[in-house]
C-alpha cells in the first residue's frame, strides 16, 4: 500500500506564436487542405522559431502550471520531462528548466518514451509522491518535432507541431477529492523500427551523409502505427478500468494522445465512449508528441469542461513502441 495519495494540483501549457495551417503547407509540399483534414483532422499547428528550443516553451508551460497551483516554487522537489527533442543530448531538458526556474539541489531528469513520455513521467511522479520521496513534482511534456521533420515526406510532414504542457503532481491531503487512482505503462521494443529517428546517436553518429539522407528526421510506418495505436491504447485503458472495478461509462472525460482524429475516433468506438466525452484539440495543434495530453488537459480545464471531481482517463502511444494509461479523479 502507498504511504500517500498523489493528485493533480494544476496544469499549464504553451504553444509557440507561429501558426501554420493546411493552406500554408499546400505552398511548400504536395498536399491539400482536404487531404490533410480527411486523413488526420488537423488544420493548424504551432511552430517554434529557429531560435526557440524545447526548454524555452517548457519553462512557460511549467511556470503556468506552478502559478495555477498553490505550490510555491521552492516547494518543487523533483522535475521530470518527457521529450525526444530536448535542447541537447545532455544535459537533460529538465535540468535546463530547473536552472531557468532558479531551483537548486533537487533531482531533474528526462524520459524518452516518444509520444507516451508525459504518461510515463506521470506514472513515475505518482510513485515518487506515493512512497514519500517527493511532495510536489513538476511533470513536463514538451517536443519540438518540426526540428526533426522530413519535409520531403508528404505523409508525415503535415502531422507535426510544437508545444509544451506541464502538471504539478502533489501529495493529496486526507480530505482531498482529487487523486491519481492508478496507471499502467508498457513497451515493446521489438517494434521500434516502425517509428524512429535513425541518426544522431551512437549507432549512427552525425555525418554529411546522414544529414544529406534526411536520417535525422522522423521515420514512421503510418498504417502499422495506426493499427498498433488503437489496439494498444484500448488494451491499457481496458486493463486499467477492470483492475479498478470501473467501466468506460464511469469515466467523465477521455484525454487521448492527439496523433490522428481517426485513431481517436477508433479508440472511442472500441471503448464505447461517445465523442462528446473525448477531449480533442488536434485541429489546432496537430501532433505535438508528449505535449498533446497536457495541452488538451489545460485547455479543457480553462474552458471549464473538466472540473474538480471528474473522473479522467489519459492514454497515449508512441515510439519504442510505448503506450500507457492513467486514471484519476481531477
Domain of residue 306: give its range: 179-329
In the set 115, 157, 228, 281, the catalytic residue is 115
257 is catalytic: yes
Give the bridge partners for 108, in sequence order. 79
User: Quick one: 198 and 257 in the same domain?
Assistant: yes
User: Quick one: 43 and 191 in the same domain?
Assistant: no
Q: Is residue 1 part of a domain?
A: no
Q: What pLDDT is attached to residue 233?
A: 98
User: Quick one: 322 and 195 in the same domain?
Assistant: yes
DSSP reduced 3-state for 187: strand
In the set 150, 257, 260, 281, the catalytic residue is 257
The count of domains in the chain is: 2
Q: What pLDDT is attached to residue 69?
A: 97
User: Quick one: 198 and 89 in the same domain?
Assistant: no
The CATH number that applies at residue 81 is 3.40.47.10
User: Quick one: 295 and 256 in the same domain?
Assistant: yes
Q: What pLDDT is attached to residue 47?
A: 98
User: Quick one: 263 and 279 in the same domain?
Assistant: yes
Torsion sign across C-alpha atoms 139, 144, 150, 156? positive
User: Quick one: 24 and 100 in the same domain?
Assistant: yes
- The CA-atom distances, in angstroms, between 61 and each of 32, 34, 72, 173 are 32, 32, 15, 25
Q: What pLDDT is attached to residue 268?
A: 98
pTM attached to this predicted model: 0.97
What is d(CA 311, CA 42) in angstroms, rounded to the nearest whole number? 27
Instruction: Decide which of 154, 171, 188 is a domain's last residue.
Output: 171
115 is catalytic: yes
User: Quick one: 106 and 68 in the same domain?
Assistant: yes
Q: Give every CB contact of residue 131 below 8 A, 6+ residues apart in sequence.
A: 2, 3, 4
The b-or-e profile of 247-281 (16+ CB within 10 A means b, else e) is ebeebebbbbbbbbbebbbbbbebbebeeeebbbb
∠ CA 43-44-50 to the nearest 5 degrees?
145
Place of cell 504553444: 15
Instruction: Decide which of 119, 151, 171 is a domain's last residue.
Output: 171
What is the chain's pLDDT, residue by residue, as a tens digit (330 residues)? 889 999 999 999 999 999 999 999 999 999 999 999 999 999 999 999 999 999 999 999 999 999 999 999 999 999 999 999 999 999 999 999 999 999 999 999 999 999 999 999 999 999 999 999 999 999 999 999 999 999 999 999 999 999 999 999 999 999 999 999 999 999 999 999 999 999 999 999 999 999 999 999 999 998 999 999 999 999 999 999 999 999 999 999 999 999 999 999 999 999 999 999 999 999 999 999 999 999 999 999 999 999 999 999 999 999 999 999 999 999
What is d(CA 123, CA 236) in angstroms, rounded to the nearest whole number? 13
Q: Is residue 205 part of a domain?
A: yes
In the set 22, 64, 281, 287, the catalytic residue is 287
117, three cell numbers:
513520455
150 is catalytic: no
User: Quick one: 47 and 163 in the same domain?
Assistant: yes
Amino acid at each position: 500500500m502507498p504511504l500517500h495519495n498523489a493528485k493533480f494540483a494544476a496544469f499549464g501549457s504553451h504553444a509557440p506564436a507561429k501558426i501554420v495551417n493546411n493552406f500554408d503547407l499546400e505552398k511548400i509540399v504536395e498536399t491539400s487542405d482536404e487531404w490533410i483534414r480527411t486523413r488526420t483532422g488537423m488544420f493548424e499547428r504551432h511552430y517554434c522559431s529557429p531560435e526557440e528550443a524545447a526548454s524555452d516553451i517548457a519553462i512557460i508551460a511549467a511556470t503556468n502550471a506552478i502559478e495555477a497551483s498553490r505550490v510555491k516554487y521552492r516547494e518543487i522537489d523533483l522535475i521530470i520531462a518527457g521529450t525526444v527533442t530536448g535542447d541537447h543530448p545532455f544535459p537533460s531538458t529538465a535540468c535546463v528548466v530547473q536552472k531557468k526556474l532558479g531551483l537548486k539541489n533537487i533531482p531533474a531528469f528526462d524520459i524518452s518514451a516518444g509520444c507516451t513520455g508525459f504518461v510515463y513521467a506521470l506514472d513515475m511522479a505518482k510513485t515518487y509522491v506515493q512512497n514519500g520521496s517527493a511532495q510536489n513534482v513538476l511533470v513536463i511534456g514538451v517536443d519540438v518535432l518540426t526540428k526533426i521533420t522530413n519535409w520531403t515526406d508528404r505523409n508525415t510532414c503535415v502531422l507535426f507541431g510544437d508545444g509544451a504542457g506541464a502538471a504539478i503532481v502533489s501529495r493529496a491531503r486526507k480530505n482531498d477529492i482529487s487523486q491519481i487512482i492508478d496507471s499502467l505503462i508498457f513497451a515493446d521494443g521489438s517494434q521500434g523500427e516502425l517509428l524512429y529517428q535513425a541518426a544522431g546517436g551512437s549507432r549512427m553518429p552525425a555525418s554529411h551523409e546522414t544529414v544529406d539522407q534526411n536520417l535525422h528526421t522522423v521515420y514512421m510506418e503510418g498504417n502499422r502505427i495506426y493499427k498498433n495505436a488503437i489496439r494498444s491504447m484500448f488494451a491499457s485503458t481496458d486493463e486499467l478500468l477492470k483492475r479498478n472495478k470501473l467501466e468506460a461509462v464511469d469515466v467523465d472525460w477521455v484525454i487521448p494522445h492527439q496523433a490522428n482524429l481517426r485513431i481517436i475516433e477508433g479508440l472511442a468506438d472500441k471503448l464505447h465512449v461517445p465523442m462528446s466525452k473525448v477531449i480533442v484539440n488536434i485541429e489546432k495543434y496537430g501532433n505535438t508528441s508528449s505535449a498533446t495530453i497536457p495541452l488538451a488537459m489545460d485547455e479543457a480545464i480553462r474552458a471549464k469542461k473538466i472540473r474538480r471531481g471528474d473522473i479522467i482517463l489519459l492514454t497515449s502511444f508512441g515510439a519504442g513502441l510505448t503506450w500507457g494509461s492513467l486514471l484519476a479523479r481531477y
